[in-house]
Amino acid sequence: HVIQNAKSINPNEFQRRQIEANRYEYVSGDMFKSETIPLGDAYILKSIIHDWNDEKSIEILKSIHDANKTQMKKRITVFIIESIITSENKDNWEAHVLDIHMLSNLGAKERNLWEYNNLLKRSGYEFKHLYKTDGPVSIIEATNQE
Residues annotated as catalytic are 50
Whether 125 and 61 have beta carbons less than 8 Å apart is answered as yes
Whether 122 and 58 have beta carbons less than 8 Å apart is answered as yes
Query: How many C-beta atoms surround the C-beta of residue 78 within 10 A?
Result: 23
Q: Within a 13 Å sphere around the CA of 120, how many CA atoms are in the beta-carbon half?
A: 23
φ, ψ of residue 3 to 5 degrees: the values are -65, -45
Q: Within a 13 Å sphere around the CA of 8, how many CA atoms are in the beta-carbon half?
A: 5
Query: Maximum Cα–Cα distance for the chain, whole Å?
Result: 43
